[in-house]
């Protein structure tokens, strides 16, 4: 088993419960870890024998474009789509961070981790 990771993906999106967040948006950073059997690709050197992380990125990007109130909802949608599009993924773990959240004080981010 191998873990394919795509880390530090950045998106500008409109997720949040506050009206202002839905209007002005904010930055999000995501890390995705996919557990996959890469044995065949290790021998064939063929992209068709593994998970194409460019295709994975496109799935994540599309889901980030759909507004949600909660990080939990965004994260679950992303993991569901990853498992639907890439059945060879045995396990997926996602960390999603909302940078500079409007919570009335200074902080770098809030985050959520989910697995599927």
Catalytic residues, by residue number, are 98
Compute CA 83 distance to the chain's CA centroid, rounded to the nearest angstrom. 12
> Positive or negative CA dihedral for 28, 31, 36, 40?
positive
Cβ pair 92, 34 in contact under 8 A: yes
**98 DSSP β-pair partners:** 28, 110
Residue 45, both tokens: 């050197």
73-111: burial string, b at 16+ Cβ within 10 Å, e else: ebbbbbbeebeeebeebeebbbebbbeebeeeeeeeeeb
């Amino acid at each position: 088993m191998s873990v394919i990771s795509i880390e530090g993906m950045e998106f500008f999106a409109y997720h949040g419960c506050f009206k202002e967040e839905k209007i002005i948006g904010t930055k999000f950073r995501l890390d995705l870890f996919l557990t996959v059997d890469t044995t065949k690709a290790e021998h064939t050197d063929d992209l068709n024998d593994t998970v194409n992380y460019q295709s994975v990125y496109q799935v994540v990007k599309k889901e980030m474009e759909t507004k949600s109130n909660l990080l939990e909802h965004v994260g679950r949608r992303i993991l569901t789509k990853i498992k639907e599009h890439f059945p060879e993924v045995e396990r997926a773990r996602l960390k999603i961070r909302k940078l500079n959240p409007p919570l009335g004080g200074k902080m770098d981010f809030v985050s959520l981790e989910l697995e599927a």
